[in-house]
Amino acid sequence: MSRLPLITGADPAHSLDALFVNAPLRDYDQRPRTNDYTLPVLGMAYIATYAQYAGFNVGVLDAEALGLGITETAKIVNVAAPRWTAMNLLAPTYEMSARIAAQLDPDIALMAGGHHAKAMPDRILADPRMANLRALVLGEGELRVAALLEDEQRRRELPGVVWRDRLLGTRVTGITSDPERAAAMLGPDINALPYVDRRFLPQDPYRAVPTEADRRLAASRGTALLGEAAVSGHVEANIVGSRGCPYNCTFCGAAVSANPDLTIRVRTPENIIGELDSLHTEFGVTAFRFVDDLFLGVGRVIEEQMAAFTRHRVGERYVWDATGRINVLDRVSDAELDRLVRNGLREVALGVESGSDRVLKAMDKRIDAEMTERVTRRLTEHGIGVKAYFILGFPGESHDDLQATVRHIHNLWAIADTNPGDVRASVFEFRPYPGTPVWTTLTDAGHAPDTLLAYGDVDLTEDGADESMRARDEFNFSVGIQFGDVPLTKIRSTLATLTRDQHQRNRTALGGAA
């Protein structure tokens, strides 16, 4: 059992208005988890924080971070006896959530949201395990969840809230006649939301182990902050700088076509810097990771943010990592890259996805392999690390496409070997998500939704990637379908080999055994 507290953020002296439950990725009663760390549930913490500011006593039960099984999670909820239990429904963990819901006390009202709720609301409402589901909140939930906690009957006037009439068995949707009110509820002003209360996040902020990126930065930039971090590691925190994505990558749940109701919004630089400083004052945080869909994804936004970062001397005090867009960074000048470095940029996470231009076109990535190598070379020359994400087994992928991706990864590693910035490759097996463009393509081609939703965890240790797979439990999922020309056994052995090679590069760079 983890040493982390079970229910976080709540006032134990008073009854719970709501308990937000993050379901485990698998039933840890059957096989214990191996992760030391899992990503914090920032979206859930945002909603819990807003509900707390509205005067409600709420808590978070992060069953994944705690390594809890299905039965144990349900038991904790039942003992806590909240008025409401709230769940974030994601396709890979939906079965875990539904099994927990089936074991909850019928006196506890259930609300749910998340990508899966938005993509398949009728399927969820019809699931007998979700019999006590009283509100399905589609889209951003802060304002509407607080309204539900105030009075369940308000759901009739809340846009994007659906439920099933218990007598008629029909679907009911909340409505409002005020378009401005509806827009405000569905897309709240993110600059007006309170900063996330970190008491809801048992693993964030955290003390990070020094990485090769930290050591390279200390050697190339030479600041006291980086020198200390290269020895003892930064205290790090995850943060969201924007909501929404303007691109339409066919496999992604954030694709603009999958979220036509979502208004893309960016927090003001002053609002972001205010949270950075707050986290530094309270927890001693000196490193931040922007985990929104695309922080460095629009040229004018990069310019606005970096001008403010310069004014506030952010780079003298902090380092930070961010998501970025390859075709946007390809247009950034050397002078702008220098400014990003001076402002503390440590690493950019890039959705490279493939080394095959044919597959990249099918993904609607708007990049090619040559552009990725060019951008990676320029970033690493400036001392900026690259976290490169790849997908193996995309629909229609051939043996040649797979080999192009393997060569591409080795090319990126070779670029890093001659530059101060590092390259880390993170490789995943393709899995379809409902609501995405490729999901429609697959179902139109005859794949049944039930088979596309049959997510299962994959144990890659038999391919020799045992220790190298540590901290990747949350990513090793599959629906067990061969979508291209390459057999799944080949996909998985390639994935394991690349992951093992990356792990070996990390160990060698940090002075571990070769």
Sheet of 423-429: strands edge to edge? 206-207, 235-239, 287-290, 319-324, 345-353, 385-392, 423-429
Nearest Cα to Cα of residue 146 among 103, 194, 198: 194
| 466 & 373 share domain | yes
Q: Residue 170 CB: number of other CB atoms within 10 A? A: 8
Token look-up 């609607």 returns 364
Q: What angle do CA 235, 239, 241 make, to 5 degrees?
A: 145
Q: With respect to residue 57, please indicate whether it lies within any of the assigned structural domains.
A: yes
DSSP 202: T
| 369 & 494 share domain | yes
Nearest Cα to Cα of residue 419 among 155, 212, 263: 212
CA distance 365 to 72: 42
| 244 & 173 share domain | no
3-state SS track over 69-81: CHHHHHHHHHHHC
Count how many residues are written for the chain. 514
DSSP 83: S
Q: With respect to residue 196, please indicate whether it lies within any of the assigned structural domains.
A: no
CATH number at residue 481: 3.80.30.20
Which residues are CB-contacts of 284 (< 8 A; sequence separation ≥ 6)? 205, 235
| 122 & 240 share domain | no
| Number of domains composing the chain | 2
493 to 197, 312, 315, 396, 456: CA distances (angstroms): 42, 48, 41, 19, 17
CA distance 40 to 230: 24
Q: What is the pLDDT of residue 469?
A: 53
| 290 & 434 share domain | yes
Q: What is the pLDDT of residue 213?
A: 65
Q: With respect to residue 70, please indicate whether it lies within any of the assigned structural domains.
A: yes
| 232 & 368 share domain | yes
| 339 & 405 share domain | yes
State phi, psi for 74 to the nearest 5 degrees. Answer: -60, -40
| 387 & 273 share domain | yes
Sheet of 18-22: strands edge to edge? 7-8, 58-62, 18-22, 84-88, 109-113, 133-137, 161-164, 171-173
The beta strands (E) that lie in 138-185 are given as 161-164, 171-173
396 to 363, 392, 407, 454, 488: CA distances (angstroms): 11, 11, 19, 20, 13
Q: Which domain holds residue 220?
A: 205-509
Among the candidates 137, 156, 186, a domain finishes at 186
Chain-centroid distance, C-alpha 136: 21
| 134 & 265 share domain | no
Q: What is the pLDDT of residue 38?
A: 80
Pairing of strands 423-429, 385-392: parallel
| 62 & 181 share domain | yes
252 to 259, 349, 376, 430: CA distances (angstroms): 11, 15, 22, 11
User: In sequence order, what DSSP letters do the residues of 243-278 get, joined into one string?
Assistant: E--S---TT-TT-GGG-TTPPPEE--HHHHHHHHHH
CA distance 229 to 209: 9
| 213 & 169 share domain | no
Q: What is the pLDDT of residue 473?
A: 47
DSSP 204: S
Nearest Cα to Cα of residue 259 among 275, 244, 274: 244
Among the candidates 186, 221, 239, a domain finishes at 186
CA distance 418 to 413: 9
Cβ atoms of residues 315 and 217 within 8 Å: no
CA distance 142 to 486: 43
Longest dimension (CA), the chain: 69
Q: Residue 471 CB: number of other CB atoms within 10 A? A: 12
CATH number at residue 60: 3.40.50.280
Q: Residue 316 CB: number of other CB atoms within 10 A? A: 12
Collapsed DSSP state (helix, strand, coil) of residue 99: helix
Q: With respect to residue 108, please indicate whether it lies within any of the assigned structural domains.
A: yes
Nearest Cα to Cα of residue 407 among 350, 360, 355: 355
Q: With respect to residue 243, please indicate whether it lies within any of the assigned structural domains.
A: yes
Q: With respect to residue 199, please indicate whether it lies within any of the assigned structural domains.
A: no
- Give the pLDDT of the chain (514 residues) as one tens digit per residue: 344 579 999 999 999 999 999 999 888 888 777 666 688 999 999 999 999 999 999 999 999 999 999 999 999 999 999 999 999 999 999 999 999 999 999 999 999 999 999 999 999 999 999 999 999 999 999 999 999 999 999 999 999 999 998 888 889 999 988 888 998 899 999 999 999 999 999 889 998 877 666 676 667 666 666 666 655 678 999 999 999 888 999 999 888 888 887 888 999 999 999 999 999 999 999 999 999 988 998 889 999 999 999 999 999 999 999 999 999 999 999 999 999 999 999 999 999 999 999 999 999 999 999 999 999 999 999 999 999 999 999 999 999 999 999 999 999 999 999 999 999 999 999 999 999 999 999 999 999 999 999 998 776 666 554 554 555 544 568 899 999 999 999 999 999 999 999 989 988 876 643 3
Q: With respect to residue 81, please indicate whether it lies within any of the assigned structural domains.
A: yes
Q: What is the pLDDT of residue 4?
A: 52
- 352 burial (CB, 10 Å; 0-12 / 13-18 / 19+) is buried
Strand partners, 349: 323, 387
Q: Compute the 3-state secondary structure of the chain and give helix, strand, coil in percent, each to the nearest 5.
A: 45, 15, 40
User: In sequence order, what DSSP letters do the residues of 28-66 get, joined into one string?
Assistant: TTTS----S-----HHHHHHHHHHHHTT--EEEEEHHHH
| 101 & 247 share domain | no
Q: With respect to residue 514, please indicate whether it lies within any of the assigned structural domains.
A: no
Q: Cα torsion for 271, 276, 279, 282, to the nearest 10°?
A: -90
Among the candidates 154, 186, 218, a domain finishes at 186
Compute the chain's Rg from CA coordinates.
23
DSSP 2: -
Strand partners, 460: none
